[in-house]
Amino acid sequence: MTKFWTKNYPQGVAIDIPKVDETLIDFFDSTLKKYAKSDFMTNMGVTYTYAQVDKMSLTVAAWIQNTKLPKGSTVAVMMPNVNQYLPIVIGAVRAGMVLTLINPLYTPRELKHQLNDSDAKMLFILEPFCHALDSIIEDTAVKTVVVSPIGDMLGRVKGRVVNLAAKYIKKAVPEYHIKSCASYKVIAFKKVLKNGKIRKYARPIFKTDDLAMIQYTGGTTGVAKGILISHHNVVYGTLQYEEWVKPMHGTQAEEGQFTTVIALPLYHIFAFIISMLGVRSGQHLLLVTNPRDINAFVKLLSSQPFHVLPAVNTLFHALLLHPKFKDIDFSSLKLSLAGGMAATPEMARKWVETTGCPILEGWGMSETLGVGTANPLTNKEFTGTIGIPLPGVDIKIFDEEENVLPIGDVGEIGIKGGNVILGYHNLDNSNFFTKDGYLKTGDVASMDAEGYVKLYDRKKDMLIVSGFNVYPNEIEGVLETHPKVRECSVVGVDHKSQGQSVKVFVVKEDPSLTEKEVFAFCKENLAGYKRPRYVEFIEELPKSTVGKILRHELRSASNKGDATNQAGDAKTEAGV
């Protein structure tokens, strides 16, 4: 369709981006050398330059290649935001491997699924999360495990202190028993760096449309599904964001190197693509390992100037609530970027009132590399919309028959562009795209005459909890394996800070089932943000004439606060 929205692009922003002839290996080779003398990243007070990351990632790449792992094999990374993360990611790409990034909070069940579905042969893992691997590694194809203690890249003295404190004072390293055996080998990350220095590196040859990543997103089929991301997808998505933030570039030239705060986890596609944007423009990445520690986070933001702050609504909200946040010097802040979930109008108002920097809200999916629509940087007020399509993006609003709807009508968003994924891994892709090649997003929205998109709801029943996608079918599938559960249904409940919380309606198989048992079972099998915060026991779930559970009735009743509970009011909140 005609991209009529480009008339509202800020001056100097290109209306389109042609296909690029650049792989991720080309991308890293050029940027790491271009900004060699600049600071690349800082974590826990320790900084590395672009030159140091260049050298270290090539060391990792050489070591991986000399394990005789075939080109195109899947390498998994399971870590929070630490200095080890990006050198490993860049090294795996430079070695010619395919990445899969894993949430370090995954339970053994969730970890096993991603390792097996992606056919990962090698895993880099931070030591505090090795316990999740213990019980399932024999049931995977992983042949090499690289274990890295937290302090590996914090210097000899500081690193040792941090490792000892993590293990013996904070008790942050649960016991694990993974050791080299006939099935797999275990090696320390520091040995990788030592051995890689004496290994020969051979630069692999790739095409731009070759596979670079298998990223996982929640699955409505009950398990997370892999999305196939090409080298071109990542580079193109980075260029799209770079083009959109051009109005900010002039100030960077005047003020010197910008610092981008990476508090969202790098395994999340939004944080990953923002980090790639930072690398593209030679920014300094300030990595935050635990953004939930708001005291430490505020102290960090108070310690140095920062220019770009991407976050989800819940994180912005938590920062605003801290009594010392208002005392921070925000004079350098150029861009507050909301992603992962919608920013609420009241929070956005308080944010600009406190910081002087409006929140830029947009929309994207893992399937689009977090790129889709955004409000122009030149906008000085929160619009409440998700903005207009970015350069290189084409969007249409269509009905159930895939007909394009008139301006203002509500329908499903379809998206096309160089940032849109190749497809889904190990799945039939015939129903995920329209006949003319638009990805069916499952998001319901309308577009006005200026091209601004208003997002209404999810076509399906996905929830967004603190910026994370949560799928009811997965939780229901887990809970219904409990012998005391006959059936259940999961819905989202409005929550002031999280956006939504998970509530489960349970029909008991055994009358002795308690809320405590439900919470304990979910803790064992689900990552924290997926666990129900509320449990309500019910005699019978509402169903249609064909037996389909009517989630919308449960959702509506829950959010009105008057859900029928024939088994007594067992509405209990559990900490997540």
Does the structure show a pLDDT above 60 at 297?
Answer: yes
In a domain, 211, yes or no: no
* Strand 439-447 to 453-458 pairing: antiparallel
The predicted structure's pLDDT at residue 573? 37
- 59 and 155 share one domain: yes
In a domain, 448, yes or no: yes
The predicted structure's pLDDT at residue 576? 31
Q: Looking at residue 485, which CATH number applies to its domain?
A: 3.30.300.30
566, 538 contact by CB (below 8 A): yes
In a domain, 10, yes or no: no
Closest by CA to 286, choosing from 269, 272, 304, is: 304
The predicted structure's pLDDT at residue 572? 37
The predicted structure's pLDDT at residue 314? 80
The neighbouring-strand residues paired with 491 are 503
Domain boundary among the residues 458, 475, 500 is at 458
- 115 and 263 share one domain: no
The range of the structural domain enclosing residue 471 comes to 463-573
pTM of the predicted model as reported, rounded to 2 decimal places:
0.86
> 281-284: long-range contacts at Cβ-Cβ below 8 A with a sequence spacing of 24 or more?
281/242, 281/249, 281/252, 282/31, 282/34, 282/35, 282/38, 282/50, 282/257, 283/257, 283/258, 283/259, 283/307, 283/308, 284/38, 284/39, 284/40, 284/41, 284/42, 284/257, 284/258, 284/259, 284/260
- 497 and 543 share one domain: yes
Q: Looking at residue 53, which CATH number applies to its domain?
A: 3.40.50.980
* Strand 259-262 to 225-230 pairing: unpaired
Pairwise CA distance, residues 358 & 137, whole Å: 46
User: Tokens at residue 122, please?
Assistant: 């090698």
Mean pLDDT of 71-94: 98
The predicted structure's pLDDT at residue 467? 85
Position with higher pLDDT, 223 vs 445: 445
- 411 and 483 share one domain: no
Among residues of the chain, what percentage have pLDDT more than 70?
Answer: 93
Pairwise CA distance, residues 342 & 490, whole Å: 21
In a domain, 449, yes or no: yes
Q: Where are the alpha helices (DSSP H) in 372-442?
A: none
- 420 and 550 share one domain: no
In a domain, 295, yes or no: yes
In a domain, 53, yes or no: yes
pLDDT in tens, 7-26: 999 999 999 999 899 999 99
- In whole numbers, what is the pLDDT of the chain averaged over residues? 91
- 408 and 527 share one domain: no
425, 400 contact by CB (below 8 A): no
- 175 and 31 share one domain: yes
Q: What's the number of domains the chain is made of?
A: 3
Mean pLDDT of 308-316: 90
Domain boundary among the residues 425, 458, 491 is at 458
- 237 and 174 share one domain: no
301, 261 contact by CB (below 8 A): yes
Does the structure show a pLDDT above 70 at 561?
Answer: no
Pairwise CA distance, residues 104 & 121, whole Å: 18
Q: Looking at residue 411, which CATH number applies to its domain?
A: 3.40.50.12780
The predicted structure's pLDDT at residue 575? 33
Mean pLDDT of 382-409: 93
**Percentages (nearest 5) of helix, strand, coil residues in the chain:** 35, 25, 40
Mean pLDDT of 451-469: 81
pLDDT in tens, 468-498: 878 787 898 899 889 999 889 999 988 887 8
Pairwise CA distance, residues 197 & 204, whole Å: 18
Closest by CA to 491, choosing from 507, 470, 509, 477, is: 470
In a domain, 14, yes or no: no
In a domain, 224, yes or no: no
- 256 and 392 share one domain: yes
500, 464 contact by CB (below 8 A): yes
Domain boundary among the residues 403, 429, 458 is at 458
The winner for highest mean pLDDT among 31-40, 335-344, 499-508, 533-542 is 31-40
Using DSSP's 3-state secondary structure scheme, residue 121 falls into: strand
DSSP code string of 323-367? TTGGGS--TT--EEEE-SSPPPHHHHHHHHHHHS--EEEEE--GG
- 411 and 553 share one domain: no
Q: How large is the C-alpha radius of gyration of the chain?
A: 24
- 423 and 487 share one domain: no
pLDDT in tens, 505-560: 999 999 999 999 999 999 999 999 999 999 999 998 887 544 567 887 898 888 76
- 288 and 337 share one domain: yes
